[in-house]
Every structure is written in structure tokens, then in C-alpha cells.
């Protein structure tokens, strides 16, 4: 019996379609070599071009359409001229919220052959797993604009930390740390954010009592930003809020070899709705259409999809293939000082996978 995974593909704008194609190649190859499962990809033409034609980033019943899939594979959305808050809110954030993808998982791991900008860092010292709250917090979208245009104009942007939302992300992080036998660090800012982060710290402490076997640490976000650079080995599994996670994982991306390698998964752990896998980078309009976008972040997120679908062995195999490719140092895109095209990198990865399986 062959299992078929139905995957919705929103390749999106700019380099999105170019890089996603390479992830699809890799997934097809892994499935073909295994033989017990296969992928059925359905492409949705949503993004900024669709917006230019229809005034919407995705079909009005888009969420309904996506619901029936096992997972979503997303490239990037964004185009110069379409404000980021539209491309973000009308597609990405709607999907994250509608499907309750409250866990954002971002590996910050320095692969063999990847370049770290810090001198004197041991490769093993940069091996973190960020677990970022993905549906509320500082990105709740709630706020107000009072006395607009007047002298006494006031703008409010509310951070929302619900008991349910805070507890479930922290519990997910403890479960992950426990499973991996690693420590868990919470990052907050209770000294300045006297409601939200005091609450966050309290919940962290409460949940921590249920996991005596997990070693914990807690840092203020400013200190954590510094320590990620000066002493990255302190961090193993890390849990933090939506905004802090957004910022710190960009530091992480820089540490682990750059934006061309940074992957992310938006997960609904209960599996009530599909989860979504995407590279962290944007549509890179400056290099779009040239066929030189680095596909490794997209391939890494495809590997996260394999983990999610229960094929961790293949998830790891894909990461090993990326490491082999980085180490042979012959087939890399220009952002990694190579001369290869996007699809040459994809083809080389497929070759490496074929040779190792």
C-alpha cells in the first residue's frame, strides 16, 4: 500500500517558485527511492500577482481549499509596491491563524561546510532549536489609532498573551526538550513588560514543575541577543514570544550561515489543520527570475515536512545531503560564493540523495 501525501504548494512571488521547485524535486526523489509513499502536489497561484489581478492575495475560499491537504509548502510572498502588511496579513498570517499553527519551529544549526561569521566558534556550539509562539503575543493585530492626524494622535498596538496560548507553546517546548534530552531556555522581558512577560515567566515556571527532568534557563531578550553571539552553546531548545522569536531567529540565521539556509515550520501539533513549511527568506525581488536564488532553505523546510509526516529518517538524510553539498563546495549559488544556478543545486542534491539511499 502506497501512502499518498497531499501537499498544497503556494510557490508565491519572486524566487519563491524557483526555490520551491528544488524542494519538490527532493521530496519526489526521496519518495521514489523509498517506494512506500508518494507526494501529490497541487499548485495554487496565490501571491502578489494574484493580488494585482483580483485585489486579494488568495482565493476568498482559500482557507477552505487548503483545509483538505496534509501540509502546505510555501515559497515566499511579497513584491515591491505591495505593502508588506498586506502580503503578510492577507496570506501568511491568515493561514497561520486560521489553521492554528501556533508553533513556529526554526532550527539554528551550523551545518558542516556552512560559514559562520563569528571567529573561533566551534561548529557544535551553534545547535539551537527555536520554538516561537506564532499566533498571538505582540503580533495579535489588536490595536487602535486615536485622533488620527490630530496633534494628540495616539497609536496603540496590543500584545495579547492568553493563558491557553502561552501555556501550550511552553508545554510544546518542554515536550520537545524532553524528547531530545536537551535543556530549555525561555526568553522574555519581565523587567520592562510588566504584564505580558511577568505572566510568561509565571507560566514557564508553572509548566516547568511538570518536567523536573528538563534543565531550564531564563534570559531577558536583550541579554539573550548578546549571548547568542558571545556564547551560543548556552542555547539548546529555546522558547519565546512571537516578536522576540522573529528577531532572534534572524540573528540565528546569520549565525548559521545566512538567510539562504534558514528554514521554518508553522505547526498545528494537534493535526486538526494542515501545517505549513517555508523558507524564512522573502521573495528576493532583486534576484528574482535570474535562477540564482539559494534553494537550501526551502529544501531544509522540506526536510522539516518529512519529519512532520513521520519520516524523520529521511528528514535527516536530506540535511546530511545539504551538508555533503556544502562540504564539496562545488555546486553553490552566488550568495554562498558559488556560481551554480538554483536548479543545479537542486539536481546535485537529488544526485547525492540517490547515491546515499
**Are the C-beta atoms of residues 88 and 57 closer than 8 Å to each other?**
no
Q: How many chain residues interact with Mg ion (CB under 5 A)?
A: 1
Closest separation between CB of residue 186 and ligand ATP, Å?
28
For residue 43, count other CB atoms closer than 10 A to its CB.
Answer: 14
Q: Which of 259, 269, 320, 338 binds ligand ATP (CB under 6 A)?
A: 259
Q: Which residue, 26 or 187, is less far from ligand ATP as judged by CB? A: 26
Residue of the chain from 47, 252, 257, 260 that contacts ligand ATP (CB under 6 A): 260
Q: In this chain, which of 245, 282, 293, 346 binds Mg ion, going by CB under 5 A?
A: 282
Assigned C-alpha cell, 220: 531577558
The strand pair at 3-12 and 275-279 is best described as unpaired
Kindly state the smallest distance separating residue 249's Cβ from ligand ATP, in Å.
13
Q: Does 76 bind ligand ATP (CB under 6 A)?
A: yes
Are the C-beta atoms of 98 and 67 separated by less than 8 Å?
Answer: no
Question: 207: number of CA atoms within 13 Å, CB side?
Answer: 25
Residue 239 C-beta: closest distance to ligand ATP, Å: 25
DSSP 111-128: -TTPPPSSTT--GGG-EE
338 binds, among Mg ion, ligand ATP, none (CB under 5 to 8 A by kind): none
Residues in the interface with ligand ATP (CB under 6 A) total 18
Q: How far apart are CA 293 and CA 288, in angstroms?
A: 7
DSSP H or E stretch at residue 229: helix 221-230
Rg (alpha carbons) of the chain, rounded to whole number: 20
Question: Is the CB of 79 or the CB of 99 nearer to Mg ion?
Answer: 79
CA distance 233 to 188: 19
How is residue 139 written as a grid cell? 503580533
- 84-103 residues in contact with ligand ATP (CB under 6 A) are 84
Nearest CA to 105 out of 263, 251, 220, 214 is that of: 263
Out of 22, 266, 294, 301, name the contact with ligand ATP by CB under 6 A. Answer: 294
Q: Residue 67: left (phi > 0), alpha (psi -120 to 50), or beta?
A: alpha
Build a one-symbol-per-residue string for 10-49: x at contacts with ligand ATP by CB under 6 A, - elsewhere: -----x---x------------------------------
In whole angstroms, what is the distance from residue 297 CA to residue 336 CA?
12
Is residue 297 near ligand ATP by the rule CB under 6 A? yes
Judged by beta carbon, residue 20 or residue 82, the one nearer Mg ion is 82
Q: Is 283 in the site for ligand ATP (CB under 6 A)?
A: yes
Nearest distance from C-beta of residue 165 to Mg ion, angstroms: 26
Among 137, 232, 252, 293, binds ligand ATP (CB under 6 A): 293
Q: Which residue lies nearer to ligand ATP by CB, 137 or 293?
A: 293
* Count of residues making up the chain: 357
List residues binding ligand ATP (CB under 6 A).
15, 19, 76, 78, 84, 259-260, 281-287, 293-294, 297, 335
List residues binding Mg ion (CB under 5 A).
282
Amino acid at each position: 500500500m502506497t501512502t499518498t501525501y497531499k501537499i498544497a504548494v503556494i510557490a508565491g512571488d519572486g524566487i519563491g517558485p524557483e526555490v520551491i521547485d528544488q524542494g519538490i524535486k527532493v521530496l519526489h526523489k526521496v519518495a521514489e527511492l523509498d517506494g512506500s509513499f508518494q507526494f501529490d502536489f497541487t499548485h495554487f497561484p496565490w501571491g502578489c500577482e494574484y493580488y494585482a489581478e483580483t485585489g486579494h492575495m488568495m482565493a476568498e475560499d482559500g482557507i477552505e481549499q487548503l483545509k483538505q491537504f496534509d501540509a502546505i509548502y510555501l515559497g515566499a510572498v511579497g513584491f515591491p509596491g505591495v505593502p508588506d502588511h498586506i502580503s503578510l496579513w492577507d496570506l501568511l498570517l491568515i493561514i497561520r491563524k486560521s489553521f492554528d499553527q501556533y508553533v513556529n519551529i526554526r532550527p539554528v544549526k551550523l551545518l558542516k561546510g556552512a560559514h559562520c561569521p563569528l571567529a573561533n566558534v566551534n561548529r557544535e556550539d551553534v545547535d539551537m532549536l527555536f520554538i516561537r509562539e506564532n499566533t498571538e503575543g505582540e503580533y495579535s493585530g489588536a490595536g487602535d489609532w486615536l485622533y488620527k492626524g490630530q496633534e494628540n494622535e495616539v497609536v496603540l498596538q496590543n500584545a495579547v498573551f492568553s493563558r491557553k496560548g502561552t501555556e501550550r507553546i511552553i508545554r510544546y517546548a518542554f515536550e520537545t526538550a524532553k524528547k531530545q534530552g536537551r535543556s530549555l531556555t525561555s526568553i522574555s522581558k519581565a523587567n520592562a513588560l510588566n504584564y505580558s512577560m511577568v505572566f510568561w515567566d509565571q507560566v514557564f515556571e508553572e509548566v516547568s514543575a511538570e518536567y523536573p527532568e528538563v534543565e531550564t534557563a531564563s534570559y531577558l531578550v536583550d541579554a539573550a541577543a548578546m549571548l547568542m553571539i558571545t556564547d551560543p552553546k548556552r542555547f539548546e531548545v529555546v522558547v519565546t514570544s512571537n516578536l522576540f522569536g522573529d528577531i532572534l531567529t534572524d540573528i540565528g540565521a546569520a549565525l548559521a550561515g545566512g538567510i539562504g539556509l534558514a528554514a521554518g515550520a508553522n505547526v498545528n501539533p494537534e493535526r486538526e489543520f494542515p501545517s505549513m513549511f517555508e523558507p524564512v527568506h522573502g521573495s528576493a525581488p532583486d534576484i528574482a527570475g535570474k535562477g540564482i536564488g539559494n534553494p537550501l532553505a526551502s529544501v531544509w523546510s522540506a526536510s522539516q515536512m518529512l519529519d512532520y509526516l513521520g519520516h524523520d529518517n529521511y528528514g535527516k538524510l536530506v540535511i546530511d545531503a545539504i551538508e555533503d553539498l556544502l562540504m564539496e563546495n562545488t555546486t553553490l549559488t552566488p550568495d554562498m560564493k558559488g556560481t551554480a544556478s538554483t536548479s543545479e543545486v537542486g539536481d546535485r542534491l537529488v544526485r547525492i540523495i540517490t547515491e546515499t539511499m
